């Protein structure tokens, strides 16, 4: 088949071709032709103004570049979008779904993959996906131990990062979960974590469990294969000891990461954590946190992962969704996202392997004292199997809600 014939293939036929054949520029142009004029409904977490502002910028750029209208469907729980797609499939709606793109990872990706709710594989068909250099960076094709198999496209990184106000906290901050408990006992009310099932709060549970359990290898297999009570017993003992010393004595919890940051800004907390390593520096640059803010990683490393976008199987605008996903992987979009004045979310591109012009886009001032040096993030602990997230959330709520 000639390249000339490829150019006029309909989108559905083109996407059925082998991955190695779909990378030709002519074929990608046919995707963009199909995308032109489409409206893409992107269901994405909307709990932070920086995130929302960035997505607004993406809206403008994909309209200018591809004549695609992007609608940010603002959600506070990714599971609600997953449930919507599942309900549509149950109702027999296989071609005209209401969700075109989802920001997800972890247990939500696993649930959609298990229930055949995802379109793909598509990630390797995106021209900019090659810039992630997956052969050198396996984290962009692995989601909480599960191979993505091209059913989701990476667009940002996360790693638990602790931060504190050095003007308030004169001693060295705690460098381990054991030291954190001792510090909380000595500084009652000055630390807390978001209420479960918030993803940041749930990640704190996983971080503590990885550090405390003597059966860490069990966390990287489905939870039903383990003795859940035995594996998690050290976590509940730890939290039972920690909670009386938390903000408001552990009777209330902030709703999410931005809520945790506000408590730091208001001076109610002296120590907090985030899943975006650049968030403290971005907050300092935005005058939300004092210049005396400092960031650090626990000794031995902290949990980290990549977040992705995926296309539901019944999206009626798959070409538009692919155009948006590819733009999110462009050096322009990735550098803008990483800018501390914008969001500060780390790039998934392999910057060292970009050409000189594109590498220059990622240069940023290093004079912000709250910004971690890149080498500080070298010790990234892998996420447990996604089934552990739901199991921990349910166990936490059964143990602590209503107390």
The mean pLDDT of 36-64, rounded to a whole number, is 96
Predicted local confidence at residue 369, as pLDDT: 85
Fold of 159-304+378-400: D-Maltodextrin-Binding Protein; domain 2 (3.40.190)
Q: 246: number of CA atoms within 13 Å, CB side?
A: 18
Percent of the chain with pLDDT over 70: 93
Residue, of 10 and 392, whose pLDDT is higher: 392
User: Do the domains spanning 3-157+306-366 and 159-304+378-400 agree at the CATH topology level?
Assistant: yes
- Give the pLDDT band of residue 376 (cuts 50, 70, 90): confident
Question: Residue 333: which of 311, 309, 303 has the closest Cα?
Answer: 309
Mean pLDDT of the chain: 91
Per CATH, domain 3-157+306-366 is 1.10.3720.10:
no
Predicted local confidence at residue 47, as pLDDT: 86
Express the helix, strand and coil content of the chain in percent, nearest 5 each.
45, 15, 40
Predicted local confidence at residue 22, as pLDDT: 41
- Give the pLDDT band of residue 232 (cuts 50, 70, 90): very high
Predicted local confidence at residue 330, as pLDDT: 98
- DSSP-derived secondary structure for 93-132: --S--S-SEEEE-HHHHHHHHHTT-B--S-GGGSGGGGGG
- Give the pLDDT band of residue 372 (cuts 50, 70, 90): confident
Predicted local confidence at residue 402, as pLDDT: 61
Predicted local confidence at residue 249, as pLDDT: 96
Predicted local confidence at residue 53, as pLDDT: 97
Domain ranges in the chain are 3-157+306-366, 159-304+378-400
pLDDT digits (tens, 9 = 90+) for 178-195: 999 999 999 999 999 999
The secondary structure element, H or E, covering residue 35 is helix 25-35
Q: Residues near 258 by Cβ (< 8 Å), separated by ≥ 6?
A: 47, 48
- Give the pLDDT band of residue 24 (cuts 50, 70, 90): low
The residues facing 286 across adjacent strands are none
Q: Give yes or no for residue 131 having a pLDDT over 60.
A: yes
9-23, 53-67, 82-96, 158-172, range with the lowest pLDDT: 9-23
Predicted local confidence at residue 103, as pLDDT: 98
The residues facing 75 across adjacent strands are 45
State the DSSP code for 160: -
Q: Give yes or no for residue 336 having a pLDDT over 70.
A: yes
Both structure tokens of 300: 């031995």
Q: Is 295 within 8 Å of 277 (Cβ atoms)?
A: yes
Residue, of 371 and 65, whose pLDDT is higher: 65
pTM of the model: 0.87
pLDDT digits (tens, 9 = 90+) for 276-318: 999 999 999 889 999 999 999 999 999 999 999 999 999 999 9
60-69, 285-294, 329-338, range with the lowest pLDDT: 285-294
Q: Give yes or no for residue 367 having a pLDDT over 90.
A: no
Percent of the chain with pLDDT over 90: 84
């Amino acid at each position: 088949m000639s390249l000339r014939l490829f150019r006029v293939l309909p989108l559905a036929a083109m996407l059925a071709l082998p991955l190695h054949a779909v990378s030709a520029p002519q074929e990608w142009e046919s995707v963009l032709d199909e995308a032109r004029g489409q409206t893409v409904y992107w269901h994405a977490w909307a709990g932070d103004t920086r995130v929302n502002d960035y997505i607004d910028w993406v809206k403008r750029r994909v309209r200018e570049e591809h004549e695609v209208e992007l609608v940010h469907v603002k959600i506070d729980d990714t599971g609600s979008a997953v449930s919507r797609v599942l309900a549509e499939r149950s109702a027999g709606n296989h071609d005209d779904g209401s969700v075109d793109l989802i920001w997800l990872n972890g247990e939500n990706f696993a649930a959609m993959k298990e229930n055949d709710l995802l379109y793909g594989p598509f990630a390797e068909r995106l021209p900019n996906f090659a810039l992630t250099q997956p052969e050198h960076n396996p984290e962009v094709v692995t989601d909480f131990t599960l191979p993505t198999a091209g059913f989701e496209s990476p667009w940002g990184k996360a790693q638990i990062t602790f931060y504190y106000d050095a003007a308030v906290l004169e001693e060295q901050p705690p460098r381990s979960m054991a030291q954190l408990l001792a510090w909380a006992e000595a500084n009652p009310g000055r630390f807390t974590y978001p209420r479960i099932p918030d993803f940041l709060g749930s990640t704190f549970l996983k971080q503590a469990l990885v550090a405390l359990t003597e059966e860490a290898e069990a966390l990287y297999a489905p939870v039903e294969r383990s003795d859940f009570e035995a594996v998690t017993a050290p976590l509940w003992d730890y939290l039972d000891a920690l909670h009386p010393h938390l903000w408001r004595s552990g009777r209330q919890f902030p709703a999410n990461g931005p809520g945790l940051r506000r408590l730091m800004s208001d001076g109610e907390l002296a120590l907090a954590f985030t899943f975006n390593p650049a968030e403290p520096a971005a907050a300092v640059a935005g005058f939300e946190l004092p210049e005396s803010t400092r960031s650090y990683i626990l000794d031995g490393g902290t949990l980290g992962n990549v977040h992705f976008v995926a296309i539901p199987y019944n999206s009626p605008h798959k070409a538009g969704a692919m155009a948006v996903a590819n733009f999110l992987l462009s050096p322009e979009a990735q550098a803008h996202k990483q800018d501390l004045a914008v969001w500060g979310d780390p790039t998934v591109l392999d910057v060292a392997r970009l050409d000189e012009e594109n590498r220059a886009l990622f240069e940023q001032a290093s004079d912000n004292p709250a910004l971690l040096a890149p080498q500080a993030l070298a010790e990234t602990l892998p996420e447990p199997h996604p089934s552990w997230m739901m199991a921990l959330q349910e166990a936490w709520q059964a143990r602590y809600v209503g107390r």
